[in-house]
């Protein structure tokens, strides 16, 4: 188990700058997510860590080893691809043991290590089956076993659950996290699925346009996004534009279309001045209907979606249309009914720079 450090990585493809000076530090034993929209550079960064791409500038470190120019097979890292890359003409056991055979490991040891790897992913006794007899979830486990059988220090995963249905994805989230923790691995996981990242990650980095926008624990990034792009990408949010009118105290005041609202600054070191254009970010679940909170606005429900344990509303207000989530609803409010009053606490309204 060792940490990974990426320092100032630049990677271009022709005129496209896929990575623009990316630096990330991943702690030993972390399940670390690279998260962002398509084209943000997350897969390119993973491939640079794996050694499948060479950066134009910068360094990659595994512990105290500079592996920037080291070939992939010497990095002691194993990669799981989105497509699984399994050979249909081989049995499960041959697929898992192929890397060991290529390394010249003795047949007896190959058999033992393949059995151990299949046990790690709960596929004991499946070694003699053919790949086309395995379900999608089982094939994903075979791909994981093939990565684990070489006893890597680091596990690299490129959107490994994207080909599975919703229920299988949830099951495999738990399995991948269990495997990483039980085997004391440092893992780097690429995805564009925010829910997946929030559910699994120890820490994550959000990338946009080839740069790291924010790094932190899932709850920190969700609760304290440092920009509108991060707030919009990690979950859903309501943006409310205004101008800062009071920077004093614990809850600065923002003048909005519905009057003054109070919130908290997105970053402690940020010091906007009075009159500066800003943007409030309020999560749908932060609005309470007919509840308590320093920030209040009246509106009317124009859409609702009932989902059992919670209901989603779209409410027309002076602040524009607000998305609202009400958990365990006792009353279902229909569109076009009586006006509703929304309330939000100051600590749940994040003040961001408007840019």
Residue 83 binned pLDDT confidence (cut-offs 50, 70, 90): confident
Dist CA 186 CA 3 (whole Å): 7
Q: What's residue 66's pLDDT? A: 96
* pLDDT tens-digit map of 156-182: 999 988 878 888 888 889 989 998 998
pLDDT at residue 1 tops 80: no
What DSSP designation does 54 have?
Answer: -
Domains of the chain: 4-228 (3.40.50.300), 237-353 (2.40.50.140)
Long-range contacts, stretch 82-89, CB < 8 angstroms, 24+ apart: 82/158, 82/159, 82/160, 82/162, 82/163, 83/163, 84/139, 84/140, 84/142, 84/143, 84/163, 85/143, 86/131, 86/139, 86/142, 86/143, 86/146, 87/131, 88/130, 88/131, 88/132
How confident is the model over 133-142, as pLDDT tens digits?
888 888 988 9
Give the lowest-confidence range in 34-48, 127-141, 286-300, 338-352. Answer: 127-141
β-pairing verdict for 264-265 and 349-353: parallel
Q: Which of 303, 284, 291, 298 is nearest to 349 (CA)?
A: 284
Residue 220 pLDDT more than 90?
yes
**Phi, psi dihedral angles at 65 (to 5 degrees):** -100, 125
Which has the closest alpha carbon to 144: 135, 157, 126, 159?
157
Nearest to 19 by CA among 256, 211, 187: 211
The pLDDT assigned to 167 comes to 83
Q: Which residues make beta-bridge pairs with 221? A: none
If one compares 312 and 336, the residue with the highest pLDDT of the two is 312
Find the helix packing angle between 107-120 and 136-148, rounded to 10°: 130
Would you say residue 202 has pLDDT above 80? yes
Please give the Cα distance from 160 to 31 (Å, whole number). Answer: 14
CB count within 10 Å of CB 183 equals 14
Q: Which alpha helices (H) appear in the chain, and where do they start and end?
A: 42-50, 92-102, 107-120, 136-148, 166-182, 194-200, 218-223, 228-233
Q: Which residue has the higher pLDDT, 267 or 298?
A: 298
> Which whole number is the average pLDDT over 193-207?
94
Q: Say how many C-beta atoms besides its own lie within 10 A of residue 232's C-beta.
A: 14
Q: What is the pLDDT of residue 183?
A: 87
Residue 125, SS3 per DSSP: coil
User: Which residues fall within 8 angstroms of residue 334, CB to CB, at 6 or more apart?
Assistant: 301, 304
pLDDT, tens only, 5-41: 999 999 999 999 999 999 999 999 999 999 999 899 9
Predicted pLDDT at 246 = 75
Predicted pLDDT of residue 140: 87
Distance between first and last Cα of the chain: 41
C-alpha distances in angstroms, 35 versus 32, 195, 256? 10, 11, 32
Q: What is the tens place of the pLDDT at every residue in 238-276?
A: 999 999 997 766 789 999 999 999 999 988 788 888 889
Q: What is the pLDDT of residue 156?
A: 96
């Amino acid at each position: 188990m060792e940490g990974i450090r990426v320092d100032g990585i630049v990677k271009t493809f022709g005129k496209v700058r896929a990575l623009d000076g990316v630096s990330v530090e991943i702690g030993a034993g972390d399940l670390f997510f690279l998260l962002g929209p398509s084209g943000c550079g997350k897969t390119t960064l993973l491939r640079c860590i794996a050694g499948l791409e060479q950066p134009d500038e910068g360094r990659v470190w595994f512990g105290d080893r500079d592996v920037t120019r080291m070939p992939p097979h010497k990095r002691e890292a194993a990669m799981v691809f989105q497509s699984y890359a399994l050979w249909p003409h081989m049995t499960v056991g041959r697929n898992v043991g192929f890397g060991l055979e290529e390394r010249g490991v003795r047949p007896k040891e190959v058999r033992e290590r393949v059995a151990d790897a299949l046990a790690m992913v709960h596929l004991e006794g499946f070694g003699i089956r053919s790949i086309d007899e395995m379900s999608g979830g089982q094939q994903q486990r075979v791909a994981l076993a093939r990565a684990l059988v070489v006893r890597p220090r680091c596990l690299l995963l490129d959107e490994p659950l994207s080909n599975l249905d919703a229920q299988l994805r949830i099951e495999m989230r738990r399995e991948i996290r269990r495997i990483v923790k039980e085997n004391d691995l440092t893992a780097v996981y690429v995805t564009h699925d925010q829910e997946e990242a929030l559910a699994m990650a120890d820490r994550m980095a959000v990338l946009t346009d080839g740069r790291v926008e924010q790094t932190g624990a899932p709850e920190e990034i969700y609760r304290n996004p440092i920009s509108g792009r991060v707030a919009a990408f990690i979950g859903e949010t309501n943006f409310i534009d205004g101008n800062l009118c009071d920077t004093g105290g614990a809850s600065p005041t923002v003048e909005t279309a519905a009057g003054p609202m109070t919130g908290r600054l997105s970053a402690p070191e940020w010091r906007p001045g009075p009159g500066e254009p800003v943007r409030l970010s309020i999560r749908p679940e932060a609005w309470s209907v007919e509840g308590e909170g320093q920030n209040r606005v009246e509106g009317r429900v124009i859409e609702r979606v009932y989902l059992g344990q919670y209901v989603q509303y779209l409410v027309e207000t002076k602040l524009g249309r607000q998305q609202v989530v009400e958990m365990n609803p006792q009353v279902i409010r229909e569109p076009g009914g009586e006006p509703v009053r929304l309330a939000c606490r100051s600590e749940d309204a994040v003040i961001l720079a408007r840019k």
